[in-house]
Amino acid sequence: MMQVAIIEDSPEQGRHLSRLFESFGTAAEVFASGRQFLRRIRTTSFDLATLDLQLPDISGLEILRQLQTERQVFHRGPPVMIISGHHDLATMKTAFSSGADDFISKPFRPDELMIRAEAIARRHQPNLFQDQPISVQGIELNLATLQAFCGGQEVALSAKEFRLAWLLFHRRGQTVPRSQIMKLIWGRSDWPSSRTVDTHIGRIRQKLGLQSQPGLRLRPVYGVGYRLDVFP
């Protein structure tokens, strides 16, 4: 599952892009300022960032330059797609020379945006869109067949339980916000109730034996969401 950072100071445009990505099954997080995004990449890995060139604190071009340093020195930082209202070649040339991976002008077609976004992410992470099973501490999740195994034995998970388990295992070591769980698994941010999410988490714990599975801990992050940690 691809995870996208949206750096956009317009709340309306940020919500629009977030809903668009999530409608294609992609997790999205919106940042209203460049510095907020640069702080987050120290602790969170993104597969792609979409970037507006005009931001309230620092310019998009400065973010591109700082990302180049992050990649060279710390080996972190996602590829970047510029989404801009500018159409002139000079702006595009400057963006690419500053480290942008793609440039798309507004207005854009949603399907074109997704095709180009996935192409960028695939170039940087060739295995991102392959249906390779996730195998962690004796638990295996096969996205191609929607099957789950624990200690070699198949475990019956409902469709939502499987998708939720896949999301948590795919994002292991990271906190998955409750809002993202609701949007990606149930398709809405205002439903289901917190109790419904907690119930599904409880079923995953029980069916996959996470209470007693050595090296795995699925825990709530108070006021935020859930996190699956893996230990040697």
In sequence order, the 6+-apart residues with CB closer than 8 A to the CB of 209 are 150, 151
Long-range contacts, 125-133 (Cβ 8 Å, 24+): 125/47, 128/2, 128/47, 129/2
Task: Quick: pLDDT tens for 148-203.
Answer: 999 899 999 998 899 899 889 988 888 888 887 887 787 666 666 778 899 999 99
Q: With a cut of 70, which residues of the chain have pLDDT below it?
A: 1, 25, 126-132, 187-192
The answer to pTM > 0.75 is: no
pLDDT of residue 224: 86
Distances 70 to 38, 39, 66, 143, 221 between C-alpha atoms, Å: 9, 11, 6, 32, 28
Is 134-230 the same fold as 3-124? Answer: no
pLDDT at 131: 57
For 134-230, CATH gives 1.10.10.10
60-72 pLDDT, tens digit per residue, is 999 999 998 888 7
Q: CA 2 to CA 168: how far, in whole Å?
A: 13
Domain ranges of the chain: 3-124, 134-230
Residue bearing tokens 């956009």: 8
Among the four given CATH numbers 3.40.50.2300, 3.40.50.2020, 3.30.360.10, 1.25.40.80, the one describing domain 3-124: 3.40.50.2300
